[in-house]
Amino acid sequence: MAPDLEALLPAVRECLSGLKSPSQLGHVELVLADNGPLMVLRHTAALPAGDREKLERFSQSHGLALYLAPQSEILEHISGEAPWYTSDGLRLMFSPRDFIQVNDGVNQLMVQTALAWLDIQPQDRVLDLFCGMGNFTLPLATRAANVVGVEGVPALVGERAGKCRAPISCTT
C-alpha cells in the first residue's frame, strides 16, 4: 500500500467508527491519484445527513476526494477534484471505478518500455486493441500519424473522449 494511503488508515477508521450508522457501511476503497488520495465508501442504505456531513468534513480536512457508492452501479462524487494520473507526460482522467495500474512506478516503466520497443515513427499508424482508458494509446498518439484505440467497455472511453488533456484529437 502507498505510504500516503497507509497513513490515512487510522483517521479513516476513527471517522467511520464515529458515524451513527456503521452497520450500513460496506467496504472502503482508497486510491492514490497523482492529484491526491480518494476514498470510495460503499454503503447498503441511505446515510443520515449527519453522517454525510461528517464524511465530507473528513474528506476536506484530509485533502481527499470522496465518493459514495450506495449501489454497485452508482457512484456519487461528494467532494474533491476528479482523479487523474500522468502517463508519458499526459494527464489521464479516470473514475474510481476504472481499472488503473496500482503501482505508478511500474506503470510508468511499462509505458516507457512499450514506447521504446515499438519505436513509433511519425508516419506510423497504430491499432491498440483493448485500450482501456488510453494508458498506452494516448502516449502512442503523440508519436504516430494515427492511432485507433478499440475498447469494449463504454464507460472507459465514451464520456472521456472529449476530456483528453493531451495535444491530440480524441473522438469516439
**CA 128 to CA 169: how far, in whole Å?**
16
151 is in an annotated binding site: yes
130 is in an annotated binding site: yes
Would you say 75 and 83 are in contact if contact means Cβ atoms under 8 Å apart? no
Of 51, 82, 43, 50, which is closest to residue 65 (Cα–Cα)? 82
**CA 74 to CA 131: how far, in whole Å?**
24
Of 129, 133, 147, 42, which is closest to residue 84 (Cα–Cα)? 133
**CA 140 to CA 58: how far, in whole Å?**
39
DSSP run (H or E) holding 68: strand 65-69
- Strand partners of residue 150: 129
Query: According to DSSP H, which parts of 38-103 are helical?
Result: 49-61
94 is in an annotated binding site: no
Q: Which residues are annotated as a binding site for S-adenosyl-L-methionine?
A: 101, 130, 151
Q: Which residues are annotated as a binding site?
A: 101, 130, 151
